[in-house]
Amino acid sequence: MNESSGNRMRSTAHGLRPDPRWPALAPSLAEIVVTAGDPAYAHARSNYMRIGSPTAVFQPATEEGVRSAVMYAAEVRRLTGERVPLSVRSGGHGISGASTNDGGIVIDLSKLSGFEELAPSASLVRVGAGSTWGQVSARLAPHGRALTSGNVGPTGVGGIATSGGIGYFARSQGLTLDHVRRVRVVTADGGIRWVDDEQDPELFWALRGGATHAGIAVDFILDAPMIGSGAPGAPILHQEVEYAVDDLSGFVERWGSWINGAPREAESFLMMQAMGDGRTWVRAQNVWANDDTATARPVLESALALGRVLDHHTVALPYPRLVPHRGGSHTRQQPLEMRAALIDRADRALGEAMSSALVHRATMLGEIRALGGAVSDVPAGATAWAGRHQEAFAATWIHPLGTDAADESFAALRESSTGSYGAYSTDTRPTEAARAWPGATGERLGRTADQVDPERLFDRGLVLPRSDDRALM
């Protein structure tokens, strides 16, 4: 990965430089850099939401490499006097698209993908930030364990474990970040350390929900719950039901009562779209996080009474089949806008707000997911994810018609919300940061960021403004 491999990096008497105004790369960094013209650049430049044109992508395979890349980025800013963008990337599935940039530096952690069992039958595991959740589920399944994540296997461990994780087991296991026991972090000053409830608890608090505010997580120690009896490859019931719904408000109200009354093993995700004739097409994915299928069946059968069913089927799958690992490049698969909201009640009012979003010309799809259960067992101040009391998560997938159209389409849902899931939104304005980290959570996270990253080296994507900027708000 130097000039002889075909890239356009400048070699001068003073060494290799990705940009003539930047410092020369130390040999260890020259070994791991990818720049335009390098065959690896096409993959390294893009993520799920956008095609970037970063000047340098570093792909470290060690935490020392991450530290060197962080220090180099700080030096570039110091020398140029410019806020050269710095992105952190784990799986590249981030919805803000902030894990790539134009003209800056990306630290790509995909080579930090280790997996180690730390306790018998993988009840405690050490997982590299660059692993994907599909890889993790495949490693846990033989032990009869599964860890809630996102519902898409290629999503990175680093992004989800630091920002949230509303997965198929949310009601039974809580958020992904609730299973983080320790984090190995590289901070903006180049420090590397383990943090947990005893060692640097403030940083540990911030790393669970605060995304990059506290630094770059390179390794996680996670507890991995057993699924039901813990039988290897324990089957998980996955029910899909399609409905044609005349009255979405009534449907959401019935769905809310059903899922809130169901045992925690049950989780339900709704995906919906306006059919154009006043009706709404709704697809429910209902999951039973236990191999006790006898108890599950009546619960899942009652989902068929929630509305007029077009089609349905139920299969028993091991978790890795539900959240499979898929390799391949990111090619800006979804050039769209997204908005997210945490909603207190899964009731008629939520259905009304979602209806108003779905009929807007900008809205492509709507989603509602059940929260509560184990998500609500954790006190609001225990992590930097403050939204613990809400019953539902709602989001919309929006045609890229501009920010105003996106805001307008989402206005009713936003109005009825009491928080947001920052990593599920393309909105990175300070107003969104204030929704994701409201009140005391935002103040505490801002204080931590001011302490560990006073220059705000990590300022990409959804981040709180610096304290001096906050004073101006």
Ligand X SMILES: Cc1cc2nc3c(=O)[nH]c(=O)nc-3n(C[C@H](O)[C@H](O)[C@H](O)COP(=O)(O)OP(=O)(O)OC[C@H]3O[C@@H](n4cnc5c(N)ncnc54)[C@H](O)[C@@H]3O)c2cc1C
> Which residue ranges make up the site for ligand X (CB under 6 A)?
47-48, 87-95, 98-99, 109, 129, 150-152, 155-156, 158-160, 162-167, 211-212, 216-217, 423-424, 460-461
Can you list the positions of beta strands (E) in 196-321? Answer: 216-223, 235-245, 266-274, 280-288, 308-318
CB of 180 to ligand X, least distance (A): 11
CB of 166 to ligand X, least distance (A): 4
CB of 184 to ligand X, least distance (A): 10
DSSP class of 385 = -
- Cβ proximity to ligand X: between 16 and 340 the closer is 340
**Joined tokens for residue 412:** 């009713």
- Cβ proximity to ligand X: between 307 and 387 the closer is 387
Alpha-carbon distance of 279 to 85, in angstroms, equals 45
- Cβ proximity to ligand X: between 9 and 287 the closer is 287
- Cβ proximity to ligand X: between 46 and 307 the closer is 46
Look up residue 36 and give its amino acid: A
**Joined tokens for residue 435:** 């929704």
- Cβ proximity to ligand X: between 164 and 351 the closer is 164
User: Residue 244: is it exposed, middle or buried by C-beta count within 10 angstroms (0-12/13-18/19+)?
Assistant: middle
Q: Which residues pair with 66 in a beta bridge?
A: none
3-state class (DSSP) for residue 132:
strand
- Cβ proximity to ligand X: between 306 and 336 the closer is 336
CB of 186 to ligand X, least distance (A): 9
**Joined tokens for residue 405:** 């159209």
How far CA 92 is from CA of 273, 322, 376, in Å, comes to 27, 20, 29
DSSP characters for 98-131? TTS-BSSEEEE-TT---EEE-SGGGSEEEEETT-
3-state class (DSSP) for residue 330:
coil
- Cβ proximity to ligand X: between 16 and 423 the closer is 423
Please count the residues of the chain.
473
CB of 274 to ligand X, least distance (A): 21
Closest residue to ligand X using C-beta atoms: 159
CB of 12 to ligand X, least distance (A): 32
User: Residue 276: is it exposed, middle or buried by C-beta count within 10 angstroms (0-12/13-18/19+)?
Assistant: exposed
CB of 207 to ligand X, least distance (A): 7
3-state class (DSSP) for residue 227:
coil
The residue to which tokens 């929900």 are assigned: 209
CA dihedral 327, 461, 183, 326 (to 10 degrees): -10
CB of 309 to ligand X, least distance (A): 24
- Cβ proximity to ligand X: between 89 and 182 the closer is 89
CB of 414 to ligand X, least distance (A): 19
3-state class (DSSP) for residue 314:
strand
Count Cβ neighbours within 10 Å for each residue of 305-336 and write b for 16 or more, e otherwise: ebbeeeebebeeebbbbbbbbeeeebeeebeb
CB of 99 to ligand X, least distance (A): 3
CB of 127 to ligand X, least distance (A): 11
Q: What angle do CA 318, 368, 400 make, to 5 degrees?
A: 105
- Cβ proximity to ligand X: between 220 and 258 the closer is 220
- Cβ proximity to ligand X: between 33 and 436 the closer is 436
- Cβ proximity to ligand X: between 155 and 441 the closer is 155
Smallest Cα–Cα separation from 24: which of 32, 14, 38? 14
By the 8 A CB rule, do 330 and 43 touch? yes
